[in-house]
């Protein structure tokens, strides 16, 4: 049985993929990326690992009391109830399935988790991300160890999980003048 290669990046980097607006607005300053390689020898097309995506949904359920799906369609953003989204998902033909833009998790304090899909499989991408589906986990606290442990526990042998993450950069706070400027113009 072929396995899906999964790598990790702990922190931000200069890949060029923007931080999702919901994550920015909620002040989710930590990023941990789960990179799903789309190449598999047993698939002629780019491979989407649906069980891995479902594991990301399950991860959100462990840290949030309200999990929703964020969808961008024709530049319009909307949130959909998770169960309603999954009902539609189950009737979608396998070849037409693509992970949604965001998995959003809220608790009593508000938005505490955004898992943004980076679709590097649609346009190449830089090293480490090239031709991948990347699930970037944005949170208020560092979650790398938790994410890796969750995926290791959920792995039924179908994933070749990296043993450690690639270290990105810790995103520094902008200088005071920039924070004041951002506050004034927003």
- In which band, very low, low, confident or very high, does the pLDDT at 125 lie, cut at 50, 70 and 90? low
* Lowest-confidence pick of 25-34, 47-56, 142-151, 162-171: 162-171
Instruction: Specify the number of domains making up the chain.
Output: 1
User: Structural domain of residue 159, as residue ranges?
Assistant: 4-185
- pLDDT tens for each residue of 90-124: 999 988 898 999 999 999 999 999 999 998 787 76
Instruction: Report the run of H or E that residue 135 belongs to, with start and end.
Output: strand 132-139
Q: Can you list the alpha helix ranges (DSSP code H) found in the chain?
A: 21-26, 50-63, 82-90, 144-154, 176-185
pLDDT digits (tens, 9 = 90+) for 43-98: 888 888 999 999 999 999 999 999 999 998 888 889 999 999 999 999 999 888 98
Judge whether 107 and 66 are in contact, CB under 8 Å. Answer: yes
**Smallest Cα–Cα separation from 69: which of 97, 101, 93, 94?**
101
Tell me how far apart the alpha carbons of residues 43 and 179 are, in angstroms, rounded to a whole number: 47
């Amino acid at each position: 049985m072929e396995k899906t290669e999964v790598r990790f990046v702990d922190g931000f980097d200069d890949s060029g993929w923007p931080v999702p607006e919901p994550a920015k607005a909620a002040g989710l300053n930590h990023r941990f990326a789960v990179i799903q390689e789309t190449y598999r020898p047993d698939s002629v097309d780019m491979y989407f690992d649906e069980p891995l995506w479902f594991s990301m949904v399950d991860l959100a359920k462990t840290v949030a009391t309200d999990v929703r799906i964020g969808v961008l369609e024709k530049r319009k953003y909307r949130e959909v109830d998770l169960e309603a989204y999954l009902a539609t998902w189950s009737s979608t033909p396998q070849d037409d399935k693509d992970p949604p833009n965001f998995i959003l998790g809220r608790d009593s304090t508000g938005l505490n988790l955004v898992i943004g899909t980076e679709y590097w499989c649609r346009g190449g991408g830089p090293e480490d991300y090239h031709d991948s589906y990347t699930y970037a986990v944005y949170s208020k606290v560092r979650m790398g160890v938790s994410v890796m442990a969750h995926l290791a526990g959920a792995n039924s042998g179908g994933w070749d999980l990296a043993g450690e993450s690639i270290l990105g950069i810790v995103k520094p706070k902008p200088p005071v003048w920039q924070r004041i400027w951002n506050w004034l113009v927003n």
